[in-house]
């Protein structure tokens, strides 16, 4: 008979994703699923700041008249990807320079 926690259920995965989005970390990162790992590595919990900035930019652009929504969404997506990439590069350089230890969740 399998242990109750041996295979992650859909609910526990959603709880783990929620924890990563709320606190930038999940318990037992070594055994986390790949989505949880990416949420932690990219520091998804702080990407809401970038999304808010992008939405403010779209609202400012709307003051000038009609906008191309495809370009607006592409710009917002690009900002989010750039922010996540910057977070990952920051952690990579920190681990290479010895600022972060090998047991850091993001290493």
Q: What is the pLDDT of residues 65-88, one digit of tens each?
A: 999 999 999 999 999 999 999 988
The CA-atom distances, in angstroms, between 51 and each of 24, 46, 72, 80 are: 16, 9, 12, 7
Range of the domain at 37: 1-41
Within this chain, do residues 55 and 89 fall inside the same structural domain, yes or no? Answer: yes
* 72 three-class SS: helix
Q: What is the mean pLDDT of residues 52-64?
A: 95
Within this chain, do residues 1 and 37 fall inside the same structural domain, yes or no? Answer: yes
Within this chain, do residues 17 and 63 fall inside the same structural domain, yes or no? Answer: no
Within this chain, do residues 36 and 53 fall inside the same structural domain, yes or no? Answer: no
Query: If you search the block for the tokens 């699923």, which residue do you land on?
Result: 33
Which range among 6-10, 13-17, 27-31, 58-62 shows the weakest confidence by mean pLDDT?
6-10
Within this chain, do residues 65 and 105 fall inside the same structural domain, yes or no? Answer: yes
Average pLDDT over the chain, rounded to an integer = 82
Within this chain, do residues 51 and 25 fall inside the same structural domain, yes or no? Answer: no
Within this chain, do residues 24 and 53 fall inside the same structural domain, yes or no? Answer: no
Check: CB of residue 35 under 8 Å from CB of residue 44.
Answer: no
């Amino acid at each position: 008979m399998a242990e109750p926690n041996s295979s992650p259920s859909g609910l526990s995965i959603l709880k783990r994703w929620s924890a990563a989005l709320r606190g930038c970390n999940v318990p037992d990162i070594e055994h986390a699923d790949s989505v949880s790992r990416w949420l932690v590595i990219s520091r998804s919990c702080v990407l809401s700041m970038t999304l808010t900035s992008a939405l403010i930019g779209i609202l400012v652009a709307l003051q000038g008249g009609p906008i191309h929504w495809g370009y607006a969404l592409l710009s917002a997506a690009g900002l989010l990807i750039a922010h996540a990439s910057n977070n990952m590069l920051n952690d990579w350089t920190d681990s290479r320079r010895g600022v972060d230890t090998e047991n850091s969740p993001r290493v």
